[in-house]
Chain A
Amino acid sequence: MIESAATFAFACFALAMLMNLWKVVTAPDVADRILALDTMFINAIALMVLYGMALGTEIFFEAAMIIAMLGFVSTVAYARFILRGNIIE
């Protein structure tokens, strides 16, 4: 049961990532692209934790945690760039 649920979840998040990808490359506005990339980061976290669960290992935890932290930084950086041009001022 868990296995099929996990497969379902995998499929959902994978599909979600493809949707994000679609948005990243086709969105009319760069703000949408940044948003899509940020969402991609979040889906990636989910996928990573899922994968770790499937393998029964905790080895992917750090990566997920770091992505949670860093996805934010890069998204803010992109946004700041559009808002201010200069991201450190």
Chain B
Amino acid sequence: MSLFLIAALPFLGAVFPALLIRAGRNAAASAAGLTTLLAFIGLMLHIPAVFRGETVYAAVDWLPALGVNAHFFLDGLGFLFAAMILGIGLLIILYARYYLSREDPMGQFYSYLLLFQGAMVGIVLSDNILLLLVFWELTSLSSFLLIGYWKHLPEGRQGARMALTVTGSGGLAMIAGMLMLGHIAGSYDLSVILQNKEAIQSSDLYLPALILILLGAFTKSAQFPFHFWLPHAMAAPTPVSAYLHSATMVKAGLFLMARLWPVLAGTPEWFYIVATTGLVTMLVGAVIALFKDDLKALLAFSTVSHLGLITMLLGFGTKIAAVAAVFHIINHATFKAALFMTAGIVDHEAGTRNIKRLGGLRHLMPVTFTIGMVAALSMAGIPPLNGFLSKEMMLEETAHTIWNGSHLIVPALATVAALFSAAYSFRFIAHVFLGRKRDDYPGHPHDPNTGMWIGPAFLVVLVVLIGLASAKIAGPMVATAAGAVTGGGELPYYSLKLWHGLTPALYMSVAATIGGLALLALHAPLQRIWNALPRPEAKTIFDALIGAFTRLSQFVTEGLHNGVLTRYAAIMVAFTVAIGYFAYRGGTLGTETRQLQEPGMLPVVGWFALVVATLFIVAKHRNRLLALVLIGVVGLVVSMAFNYLSAPDLALTQISVEVVTIILMLLALNFMPKETPVETPALTRLRDGAISVVAGLGAGGLIYALLMRDFAFPTISDFHLANSYKGGGGTNVVNVILVDFRGYDTFGEIIVLGIAAMVIFALTEAVLASKVRAYLLNRKPDLPQAGDSHPLMMVVATRVMMPLALMVAAYIFFRGHNLPGGGFIAGLVAAIAIIMQYMASGFAWATERQRYPYHAIIGSGVLIAAATGMGAWFNGKPFLTSDFGYLHWAPLEEFEWATAALFDLGVFLAVVGAVLLALESLSRFAWQPGISSEHAMDINPARDEAAKTGTEG
């Protein structure tokens, strides 16, 4: 079976349980089990090749640009792990089917489990370290889901987050390490990397890469000081613990160290980092395990300890140690998974995992007892079980290891660790199963049904068989896997048998066993001492750290993004000025090429008016109406300046926009406070002043520098001047640019205006649909109101003004192409003509007389502009290509027509519609029942007269 399929099957399998759960728990379990079995069988089909020492490949390029590719390979090491993952996986699936209760969402469970399984298989089959990383992080994520599976348990959530944090961060470090490794080797493919030992070990990046990769491995394999997450992950359902935290996931780190052993091991750095970490972990784990009362915690720390053992062996860097490591991996997987399942059974049946409440179960659960006892003895390293064999090999290796010149320290510490290991194993047997039967178990302990014990039983059989006939049963596997770990070549001599003679290891082993028994006997007093000792509680520290970091993040985030626009804007302006100045300093400023022009009297007066008005706005801005009046001065002066400086179109536009803007702001100000309070402290104002002055100096200085220099190149507007009449049919070049050369800008611009009006309309609707409406309806004016809201004279004047203004609008519209003006200004003038009616005769009266909805006017404007633009298509020309010509109808003189005028009409309509829709929307805020009058003017003697005589309405 292709490696792809083997790797993919668990993922496919992850889909089914979730889908099939409606069909029942058995269906979900079967689907999970069958896909796993299929993958397992597929893997077994490769046995002949693997045991011949061949490597099976499967490769598809995924992201060749980066070197992340779906390259898989299967060698002895990969086979060993894949077999473990799939094989134990099968047993776990079976076990879990009976372990989980009816309330647990089983479909989810199997989905997560198979997701995890797939990720693990992916890790061990990857021939590409980046692909391996993908699977690596995926194990972290899927284990997060599995640990937190029991959503009602806070320990589950916390354990899940802790595991994710620790293993996830290690994984991220590993990413960096792997990228470095791949960089040194020139490829991310393992098969290439493994050939490059010299290059890698001599590289400057070796040490950083090594440390980063080991961070990944150590966190995953719960090595000291990252071991603390593993016990907390035990909040997961026991099948998960058995699978992830004994057999598979925690072994991923070991796998990785084994995988990269050929290129990373053998250096002093490797030895001191890896072997030391392993040794310390082994010792620490074993000691803590002895004093844990929770069965699963005991097993968890024992796992930590055994993982340390294997790590230490890999760290020794010798081939024979590597063989021992491989062998212990196999053995540990068998007995530890069995032990977890046993613990799970005890928990399930007795209703507790607390050793203190157990004991004497041997009588009630004989099958479970047998299984647990054999597995625990193996863990203790008692012959003839498999745990004894690999422990002997370990002890033998430690005896030959020199640590910083010392021959003793490693074997001594290893023996102590083995001693504790034996002790907690014995305790597992003695305090759970042996002793007198109790009558206060929380549950009713009895042996579970076959489905639950068959799995651990099978493993225990393996434990015994490997112990008795290791060379036959485990020999080929160990050889093949160890061969792969050590990177081919001849393995040194070793033998997997029970009796090697009176070796140092045997003495150490005996010492450990006896010592273990002694410790068990002394357990009660030791426990009291242990409990009295102050010791750091990893979870507390971790929680405190994470909590502090979370609170710090909240503090920083809330503090930095405190919602104060003022500060955001200040930072933005200051940053801009600083960067602008930095950019300026980095270049050279050329010499001035233009002369200063002498200003006449008018510019000086205008400048003075502008500056005075501006400064007074700043000084008096708290009086909002006054500020608006002063803004009017500024607008007038700017408009005049445009006129003076040869920009009549701009002057027209500026002044018309000005008026509409002021109307708009007055409409809004009606509802807002009329005064701005003094809020900012003087120092803040000083800071703001400084920022403003600097910004002003920047803007002023920049334009001054620009004004004193000519264009570096002829400008493109020479073309516009030259072609405006010939090609655009107009003599007002600004207008021709607007409707022709850059008509597309104008198209965008009217859309902006149209959208603005729509937004305002939508906002009005939203506000008036909210509780604000009630407030508005009952709102009393802020200031006393004068009478006569629609004065007679105003009404009459605007009635005359309106047609006149529309005439002006028409005039400005039609001449715009050739003289100052155009659709935009015309639109504003027309809009103002209608606004005058609103102001004079009132909102209700004017609205009633408005025949065309403003939405439609805007829409038609945009559509006309667009349609004019598209019209060119039928001429085979691009969008917005204009055309013009001359018509002659006797007796009239010839006159010019231009499609640009049609486009300008679109502009005109859009502007009219937008301005009026915006103002009309704003005006609706003030509407209150009873304010609408049926008459245009409040006071009209003619009407009163007519009412008296009854002649006219």
Complex Cα spacing A21 to B630, Å: 9
The residues of A that contact B805 with a CB separation of less than 8 Å are 69
Within 8 A of A (CB), among B192-216: none
B835 close to A (CB within 8 Å): yes
Complex Cα spacing A74 to B660, Å: 8
- Supposing A17-B605, A33-B626, A86-B670 touch, asked if A73 and B659 sit within 8 A by C-beta, the answer is yes
A53 close to B (CB within 8 Å): no
Stretch of B81-89, B252-260, B636-644 at the chain-chain interface: B636-644
Check B785–A83 contact: CB distance below 8 A: yes
Check A80–B839 contact: CB distance below 8 A: yes
The residues of B that contact A40 with a CB separation of less than 8 Å are 633, 636
Check A66–B808 contact: CB distance below 8 A: yes
Within 8 A of B (CB), among A53-82: 59-60, 62-63, 65-67, 69-70, 73-74, 76-78, 80-82
The residues of B that contact A80 with a CB separation of less than 8 Å are 839
Check A66–B829 contact: CB distance below 8 A: yes
- Supposing A14-B601, A85-B670, A85-B782 touch, asked if A66 and B656 sit within 8 A by C-beta, the answer is yes
A53 to chain B, nearest CB (A): 13
Check B633–A21 contact: CB distance below 8 A: yes
Within 8 A of B (CB), among A15-74: 17-18, 21, 24-25, 30, 33-34, 37, 40-41, 44, 47-48, 51, 59-60, 62-63, 65-67, 69-70, 73-74
- Supposing A59-B648, A85-B781, A89-B926 touch, asked if A73 and B629 sit within 8 A by C-beta, the answer is no
The residues of A that contact B832 with a CB separation of less than 8 Å are 69-70, 73
Check A77–B839 contact: CB distance below 8 A: yes
Check B632–A37 contact: CB distance below 8 A: yes
- Supposing A30-B626, A59-B648, A63-B655 touch, asked if A69 and B808 sit within 8 A by C-beta, the answer is yes
A73 to chain B, nearest CB (A): 5
A: number of interface residues (CB 8 Å) = 42
A31 to chain B, nearest CB (A): 11
Check B652–A25 contact: CB distance below 8 A: no
Check B644–A70 contact: CB distance below 8 A: no
The residues of A that contact B483 with a CB separation of less than 8 Å are none
B667 close to A (CB within 8 Å): yes
B278 to chain A, nearest CB (A): 82
**Residue from B655, B666, B835 within 8 A of A81 (CB atoms):** B666
- Supposing A48-B640, A69-B801, A78-B666 touch, asked if A62 and B652 sit within 8 A by C-beta, the answer is yes
B896 to chain A, nearest CB (A): 19
Secondary structure type dominating chain A contacts? helix
Check B616–A89 contact: CB distance below 8 A: no
Within 8 A of A (CB), among B649-675: 651-652, 655-656, 658-659, 662-663, 666-667, 669-670
The residues of B that contact A30 with a CB separation of less than 8 Å are 625-626, 629
Within 8 A of A (CB), among B798-850: 801, 805, 808, 812, 819-821, 825, 829, 832, 835-836, 838-839, 842-843
Complex Cα spacing A81 to B628, Å: 11
Complex Cα spacing A32 to B878, Å: 56
Nearest-neighbor residue (CB-CB) of B927 within chain A: A89
- Supposing A40-B633, A48-B643, A87-B839 touch, asked if A74 and B786 sit within 8 A by C-beta, the answer is no
Check A88–B843 contact: CB distance below 8 A: yes
Check A70–B821 contact: CB distance below 8 A: no
Check A87–B666 contact: CB distance below 8 A: yes
The residues of B that contact A37 with a CB separation of less than 8 Å are 629, 632-633, 636
Check B663–A87 contact: CB distance below 8 A: yes
Complex Cα spacing A80 to B843, Å: 14
Nearest-neighbor residue (CB-CB) of B919 within chain A: A88
| Chain A CB within 10 Å, residue with most, of B613, B655, B783, B808 | B655
The residues of B that contact A51 with a CB separation of less than 8 Å are 602, 643-644
Complex Cα spacing A62 to B835, Å: 20
Complex Cα spacing A81 to B651, Å: 26
- Supposing A21-B612, A89-B843 touch, asked if A63 and B639 sit within 8 A by C-beta, the answer is yes
Check A74–B794 contact: CB distance below 8 A: no
B609 close to A (CB within 8 Å): yes
Check A84–B648 contact: CB distance below 8 A: no
Check A41–B636 contact: CB distance below 8 A: yes
The residues of A that contact B651 with a CB separation of less than 8 Å are 60, 63
The residues of A that contact B783 with a CB separation of less than 8 Å are 82, 85
Check A11–B926 contact: CB distance below 8 A: no
Nearest-neighbor residue (CB-CB) of B920 within chain A: A88
Complex Cα spacing A71 to B922, Å: 22
Complex Cα spacing A83 to B784, Å: 8
- Supposing A63-B655, A66-B652 touch, asked if A25 and B785 sit within 8 A by C-beta, the answer is no
B 757-790 to A, binary, CB cutoff 8 A, 1 in contact else 0: 0000000000000000000000001110110010
- Supposing A73-B835, A88-B919 touch, asked if A78 and B926 sit within 8 A by C-beta, the answer is no
Complex Cα spacing A40 to B629, Å: 12
Within 8 A of A (CB), among B313-360: none
Complex Cα spacing A47 to B789, Å: 35
**Residue from B669, B782, B801, B838 within 8 A of A88 (CB atoms):** B838
The residues of A that contact B628 with a CB separation of less than 8 Å are 78
Nearest-neighbor residue (CB-CB) of B932 within chain A: A89
Check B602–A47 contact: CB distance below 8 A: yes
The residues of B that contact A73 with a CB separation of less than 8 Å are 659, 663, 832, 835-836, 839
Complex Cα spacing A70 to B831, Å: 12
A38 to chain B, nearest CB (A): 9
The residues of A that contact B919 with a CB separation of less than 8 Å are 88
Complex Cα spacing A77 to B821, Å: 25
| Chain B CB within 10 Å, residue with most, of A10, A34, A37, A77 | A77
- Supposing A63-B820, A84-B786 touch, asked if A21 and B609 sit within 8 A by C-beta, the answer is yes
B923 close to A (CB within 8 Å): yes
- Supposing A59-B819, A60-B648 touch, asked if A14 and B839 sit within 8 A by C-beta, the answer is no
Nearest-neighbor residue (CB-CB) of B928 within chain A: A89
Check B630–A81 contact: CB distance below 8 A: no
B549 close to A (CB within 8 Å): no
B458 close to A (CB within 8 Å): no
Check B794–A76 contact: CB distance below 8 A: yes
Complex Cα spacing A60 to B819, Å: 10
Complex Cα spacing A33 to B785, Å: 20
Nearest-neighbor residue (CB-CB) of B843 within chain A: A88
Check A88–B633 contact: CB distance below 8 A: no
| Chain B CB within 10 Å, residue with most, of A40, A67, A88 | A88
The residues of A that contact B639 with a CB separation of less than 8 Å are 63, 67
Check A66–B785 contact: CB distance below 8 A: no
| Chain A CB within 10 Å, residue with most, of B608, B663, B931 | B663
**Residue from B630, B644, B662, B789 within 8 A of A84 (CB atoms):** B789
- Supposing A51-B643, A76-B794 touch, asked if A89 and B789 sit within 8 A by C-beta, the answer is yes
Check A85–B785 contact: CB distance below 8 A: yes
B 420-449 to A, binary, CB cutoff 8 A, 1 in contact else 0: 000000000000000000000000000000
Check B629–A44 contact: CB distance below 8 A: no
The residues of A that contact B667 with a CB separation of less than 8 Å are 86-88
Complex Cα spacing A76 to B836, Å: 9
- Supposing A24-B613, A60-B648 touch, asked if A77 and B655 sit within 8 A by C-beta, the answer is no
- Supposing A88-B838, A89-B926 touch, asked if A69 and B605 sit within 8 A by C-beta, the answer is no
The residues of A that contact B786 with a CB separation of less than 8 Å are 83-84
| Chain B CB within 10 Å, residue with most, of A11, A48, A81 | A81
Check A66–B669 contact: CB distance below 8 A: no
B657 to chain A, nearest CB (A): 10
B661 to chain A, nearest CB (A): 10
What 8 A-B pairs are tightest by C-beta distance, nearest first? A83-B786, A88-B923, A14-B605, A86-B926, A70-B659, A63-B651, A88-B838, A25-B616
If A11-B601, A78-B629 are given as contacts, then 5 extra A-B residue pairs at C-beta distance below 8 Å, sorted by A number, are A47-B640, A48-B640, A60-B651, A84-B785, A85-B785
Residues of A in contact with B (beta carbons under 8 Å apart): 10-11, 14, 17-18, 21, 24-25, 30, 33-34, 37, 40-41, 44, 47-48, 51, 59-60, 62-63, 65-67, 69-70, 73-74, 76-78, 80-89
Question: Can you give 10 A-B contacts (C-beta < 8 A)?
Answer: A21-B633, A40-B636, A69-B829, A74-B663, A78-B629, A78-B666, A85-B782, A85-B785, A86-B926, A87-B663
